[in-house]
Structure 1
Amino acid sequence: MTHEEAAGPAARPSSLDFGYELLLRMVAISCLVFGVGYWVRLLGFFEGPHWRFDLMPMYWQATAVPLAVLFPFAAIGLWALASWGPVVWVLCASMEAVMYAGFPHLYGDRPWLVLFHALVAVLYIALRAAFALRSRKAH
């Protein structure tokens, strides 16, 4: 008898676990894209108003720099399924929601982005609630 056979059947992740991992990894990819977008804006790869750090107004500089750093950091945490990944994502999503929903006259109007962040937050909360119910049933 091999060691694997003696250990018993391998624990298979549930569909809830799979859904949670899939959500976090999809959000990680979007965070990486958003982060690269902010870096492109900061470095000035494209022509246009406010497409380079030294030409940006102070309010764009104050938001673009932290988001350019935090979004890739959130992507790493989410991809690695680390507990701090969603926390960093919440910081980024909250900042963008305040920017685009609270100050559209400064940052522009991007309701689809605010809606995306809200949808991800609802899905995340629903999955965490499902984990809590599963844990409660197990005990």
Structure 2
Amino acid sequence: MPPRPTAAETVFDIFQRIVAFYCLGAGLWYWSLLIGVYGGGAWRFDVLPSHWKAAVAILAVLWPVAGIGLWMLVSWGPVVWIVAAAAESLMYGGFSSLYGNYWYLLAIHCVVAATYVILRLIIYFNPRGEMGGSNI
């Protein structure tokens, strides 16, 4: 019988699944741009500027894949999330003149990344059997 997860591991799993919902929502938003649902067709892929075409096509694939990986709690989920968040942060932070200045997205990515690192450190430094963990 596998050991029961610690409280920190359970919180970490719930956190990843919450972030997965965000990723799937972001993916749906980028897909709505691609197919012209958002903005009454003004944002359809065929009428977007080239820089938006590249960004939307990449993020419409990365966000849902990250969401699926995070929901399944597999090791590649956070990796894909980092790539997608870095791409979006580069868009809205580094090229805000082209994509707009969405500082709240940058803040969300920073909070999620910091929370991820903190939870991983808690899990690493509190092995099973300590602080509420159980080997039974």
TM-score (ref. length: structure 2):
0.88
Larger Rg: 1
8 Å CA contact retained: 1:74, 1:89:
yes
1:54 aligned residue (21, 32, 46) = 46
Q: How far is the alpha carbon of 1:137 from its aligned partner?
A: 9.1
Cα deviation 1:8-57 (Å, max 9, x = unaligned) = xx743221011100110000000000000000001001336851101111
Matched, 1:72 2:64: yes
In the other structure, the counterpart of 1:19 is 11
2:22 is paired with a residue of what secondary structure?
Answer: helix
Matched, 1:93 2:106: no
Following superposition of structure 1 onto structure 2, how do residues 1-139 of structure 1 map, counting pairs within 5 Å?
A: 11-47=3-39, 51-135=43-127
Which AA in structure 2 matches 1:89? Answer: W
Alpha-carbon separation, structure 2, partners of 1:46 and 1:37: 8
The percentage of counterpart residues that share the same residue type is 42
Alpha-carbon separation, structure 1, partners of 2:5 and 2:51: 45
Alpha-carbon separation, structure 2, partners of 1:28 and 1:99: 21
**Structure 2: unaligned runs, 5 residues or longer:** 131-136
Once the two structures are overlaid, the 10-residue window that deviates more, 57-66 or 128-137, is: 128-137
RMSD: 2.1
Instruction: Give the paired residue count.
Output: 130
**Structure 1: unaligned runs, 5 residues or longer:** 1-6
